[in-house]
Amino acid sequence: MVAAEAAGFIALGAGIAVGLTGLGAGIGEQSIGAAAIGAMAEDPKFFGKGLLMTVIPESIVIFGLVVALILLFVF
């Protein structure tokens, strides 16, 4: 019973870690994405740089995922 509860909490924690960081990355990306599209409208050469800048906040999700993976597989 206790083990099952612990497993449940670990799963919850993993979900929260990925979910909240996903939200965070989304909030970060929205303004960068908008600015990148704006820059691209001025000069299509910004496509590469804009795309890169836009994916930078995605790191946060990766950290969340690392935390989730550690929770699920290491503990």
Partner 1 sequence: MLKPEKMVRVVVVGTNDALDQTIESLHKLNLLHIIDYVEEEAGFKIGKPGSMASKFSEYLVTLRSIESQLGSEEGSGFDKKILAEELSPQIEPTLSELEEEVLKQHDLMRSIETELKQKQDIEDTIKSLALLPLSLEDYTGYQSIKVFVGFIDSNIEDAIRAETNQYELYTGSIEGKKIIAVAVAKEKEDEINKILQNDSTYTEIRPPELTGNPQTALEEIAAAKAELTKELANAESELIRLKQEYAEFMLASEEYLTIETQKSEAPLRFATTDHAFVVDGWIPLNKYDDFEKTIEGGAGNVYVSRLEDEEVKDVPIALDNPKPAKPFELLVETFATPKYKEIDPSLILFITFPLFYGIMLGDIGYGVLLGILSWIIMSKVKSGGLHELAIILMYSALSTIFFGIIFGEVFGFPLFNIMHHGMVEGGILGIAGPNIGMLHLPIHRFAEVKPLLVMTFVIGILHITLGLILGIRNVSIEHGFKHAVTGKLCWLMILFGGIMAIVTAMPAILWGDILNTQDPIFVSGIVLGIIGIILLVKGEGAIAIMEIPTLLSNIFSYARILAIGLSSAGIALAVNTICRDVLFAQGGVFIVVGILVLILGHTINLLLGIIGPGLHSLRLQYVEFFTKFYEGGGTKYNPFGFIRKYTEE
Residues in touch with partner 1 (CB under 8 A): 48-49, 51-52, 55-56, 58-59, 62-63, 65-66, 69-70, 72-75
CB of 1 to partner 1, least distance (A): 22
H or E stretch at 32:
helix 2-42
CB 51 within 8 A of CB 36: yes
CA pair distance 51, 33, nearest whole angstrom: 8
Nearer to partner 1, 5 or 75 (CB): 75
Q: CB-wise, 16 or 65, nearer to partner 1? A: 65
